Amino acid sequence: MVQTIDLNAALMKYFGYQHFKPGQKEILEALLAQKNVLGILPTGVGKSLCYQLYGYLVKKTVVIVSPLISLMQDQVANLYLRGEKKAIALNSNLTFAQRREILAKLKFFRFIYVSPELLKNPAVLAALQKLDLGLFVVDEAHCISTWGPDFRPDYLDLGKIRQRLANPLTLALTATATLKVEMQIKQILFFDAQTKVVRFAVNRANIFLDVEEVSDEAQKNARLLELTTNLQGPGLIYFSSKKKAEEINQLILQKSDLKSAVYHAGMANEDRFAVLEQFLRDELDIICATSAFGMGINKQNIRYIIHYHLPSSLEDYVQEYGRCSRDGQKGAAIILYQDSDLDLQKYLLEKTFPKLQEITYFFKQNKVLRQILQENPPFDLLARYQQLGFTQAQVERLIKERLVERKQALDEIKSYLGSNCLRKKIAQYFGDQLPEQANCCSPQNETVSLSQLGQKKVALAKRATFEDYQSVLKKLFNQ
């Protein structure tokens, strides 16, 4: 009966849309035919609609594994705004009492978001095993490959978790997966079982791509101010350094009339939450952010993304500039770089991975000392590997392989900076076919005009006065 459903009518009924975006209908048709699916769709296409609509159609529980707390909270908040109250997020922000209460009532929820770490909790897993799961979703599935071994080892265990849940129908979703990553997802999550792959090109034709080389930091800052004061906003500026993000945020506030704020992992949760809320409500022109500004943030009208520092890989870059102009309007993605930026990325890369002597030292310690060590990087990563059953030799081999891969990824970024066609370079990297288009990207070694980068600057909608986070929180919670 499910297979005969009029999907277009269902789309209108549940979401009020007349047409599917590329890939959405294909994914739904495969799921309704009870096929496991790997969906690789461009940023901003609306991947969450696929599992949400499927949940409404089959009237069963949907479990969504999500890598970031901010992403979970954003998804749950959006469901609530649409009138869906049977949604919950299970993550480390919950107290033990809150988690216990939710688990006792889990069968009453339609959409259950859970972090990969909490999914392994015996109580959480036992509660999920009692449910009639309609769909198991792995959001941001590229984390299985690109984050899994580096920062989120728990993503590597999702295939085994899926087996313990009796192999439910599964949907893996990502915006960035090379053919190699696609293969890794199939192996780790689906154990190479037959899987329907729905792949659409990562290309976002409405975003103009630009790379500008500067001679030093002074020139970079001057160009940044020129761009931010003349381009239509809102805008997002990415940094590899929390300190530099704060420094440039102050520069923007001092040298322009723009309303800017900073967002990074070193801030308290309530501070970050307040900044994000103001940005979503168009009360800020700019956010100066590190990669802590999470995936999937649902703001449709970001008009430019500037990278003050180089991204660490083309996957990261496509994810980050993919937050631009999700409403289909014209936008721009700009990298400002100087030679020393490559040295910074190489330094950060070396810091990311445990050294051989650190691995040896960790595995030689007794259980008590290892528990003390794991409170600090890089030993926290080694502790996660050990919990997953990795031996010292396996960890050493994996770290070595990943270090090589990340250096290759940085080489790809360097190659992108010197490409004759930036859009074509990205398409080739992801194995996509690319149609010709006008106003594609900046010519090599040429600084483009502001008119090419974006529309003429216009004022944002009437907005409230800039507020500190305490005032925002009081309004949000009616205090």
Q: pLDDT tens-digit profile of 173-224? A: 998 888 888 999 999 999 877 899 999 888 888 899 999 999 999 999 999 9
Is residue 104 one of the residues assigned to a domain? yes
The Cα–Cα gap between 120 and 404 comes to: 30
Residue pair 422/416 in contact by the 8 Å Cβ criterion: yes
Is residue 395 one of the residues assigned to a domain? yes
Considering the domain architecture, whether residues 264 and 371 belong to the same structural domain is answered as: no
- Is the sign of the CA dihedral 74, 77, 78, 79 positive or negative? positive
Considering the domain architecture, whether residues 357 and 453 belong to the same structural domain is answered as: no
How much of the chain, in percent, has pLDDT values that exceed 70? 90
Considering the domain architecture, whether residues 46 and 149 belong to the same structural domain is answered as: yes
Could you please report the per-residue DSSP string of 154-216?
A: GGGGHHHHHHHTT---EEEEES---HHHHHHHHHHHHTT---EEEE-----TTEEEEEEE-SS
- Global pTM? 0.83
- What is the pLDDT, as a whole number, of residue 462? 42
Considering the domain architecture, whether residues 253 and 304 belong to the same structural domain is answered as: yes
- What is the pLDDT, as a whole number, of residue 460? 47
Of 199, 220, 245, the last residue of a domain is: 199
Q: Give the range of the structural domain holding residue 400, as residue numbers without chain letter.
A: 353-411
3-state secondary structure of 90: strand
- What is the pLDDT, as a whole number, of residue 113? 95
- What is the pLDDT, as a whole number, of residue 144? 86
Considering the domain architecture, whether residues 108 and 241 belong to the same structural domain is answered as: no
- What is the pLDDT, as a whole number, of residue 454? 58
Considering the domain architecture, whether residues 185 and 271 belong to the same structural domain is answered as: no
Residue type, 86: K
Is residue 271 one of the residues assigned to a domain? yes
Considering the domain architecture, whether residues 96 and 230 belong to the same structural domain is answered as: no
- Alpha carbon 354 to its chain centroid, in Å, reads 24
Q: Which residues contact 266 (CB under 8 A, 6 or more apart)?
A: 242
Is residue 421 one of the residues assigned to a domain? no
Cis peptide before 378 (omega within 30 of 0): yes
Is residue 416 one of the residues assigned to a domain? no
Considering the domain architecture, whether residues 163 and 191 belong to the same structural domain is answered as: yes
- Alpha carbon 370 to its chain centroid, in Å, reads 31
Each residue's pLDDT tens digit, 427-452: 999 888 877 776 678 776 666 666 66
Average pLDDT over residues 284-297: 83
Average pLDDT over residues 5-11: 92
Q: What is the CATH number of the domain that holds 124?
A: 3.40.50.300
- What is the b/e burial string over 1-16, where b = at least 16 CB atoms within 10 angstroms of the residue's CB? eeeeeeeeeebeebee
Residue 258: band (very low, low, confident or very high) from pLDDT cuts 50, 70, 90: very high
CA dihedral 10, 16, 18, 20 (to 10 degrees): -70
Radius of gyration of the chain from its Cα atoms, rounded to whole angstroms:
23
Q: To the nearest whole number, what is the mean pLDDT of the chain?
A: 86
pLDDT at position 340 over 70: yes
Is residue 424 one of the residues assigned to a domain? no
Top pLDDT among 369 and 238 is at 238
3-state secondary structure of 378: coil
Half-sphere exposure of 158 (CA within 13 A, CB side): 37
- What is the pLDDT, as a whole number, of residue 251? 96
- What is the pLDDT, as a whole number, of residue 205? 87
Each residue's pLDDT tens digit, 375-408: 777 788 888 888 888 899 999 998 888 888 889 9
pLDDT at position 107 over 50: yes
Each residue's pLDDT tens digit, 373-384: 887 777 888 888
The Cα–Cα gap between 240 and 9 comes to: 45
Residue pair 219/261 in contact by the 8 Å Cβ criterion: no
pLDDT at position 463 over 50: no
Torsion angles phi and psi, residue 458, rounded to 5: -130, 160
Provide the token pair at 281.
Answer: 């409500």
3-state secondary structure of 220: helix
Considering the domain architecture, whether residues 364 and 324 belong to the same structural domain is answered as: no
Each residue's pLDDT tens digit, 132-156: 999 999 998 988 887 656 667 788 8
- What is the pLDDT, as a whole number, of residue 220? 95
- What is the pLDDT, as a whole number, of residue 295? 64
Considering the domain architecture, whether residues 60 and 96 belong to the same structural domain is answered as: yes
pLDDT at position 111 over 80: yes
Give the long-range contacts of residues 392-399, CB within 8 A, separation 24 or more. Answer: 392/359, 392/360, 392/363, 395/359, 395/363, 396/356, 396/359, 398/149, 399/353, 399/354, 399/359
Each residue's pLDDT tens digit, 74-101: 788 888 888 898 999 988 778 888 888 9
Number of folded domains that form the chain: 3
- What is the pLDDT, as a whole number, of residue 71? 78
Considering the domain architecture, whether residues 322 and 444 belong to the same structural domain is answered as: yes
Residue 38: band (very low, low, confident or very high) from pLDDT cuts 50, 70, 90: very high
- What is the pLDDT, as a whole number, of residue 464? 43
Is residue 383 one of the residues assigned to a domain? yes
- What is the pLDDT, as a whole number, of residue 1? 41
The Cα–Cα gap between 69 and 157 comes to: 19
Residues counted in the chain? 479
How much of the chain, in percent, has pLDDT values that exceed 90? 50
pLDDT at position 32 over 90: yes
Is residue 169 one of the residues assigned to a domain? yes
Q: Which residues contact 467 (CB under 8 A, 6 or more apart)?
A: 274, 278, 283
- What is the pLDDT, as a whole number, of residue 441? 80
Considering the domain architecture, whether residues 56 and 6 belong to the same structural domain is answered as: yes
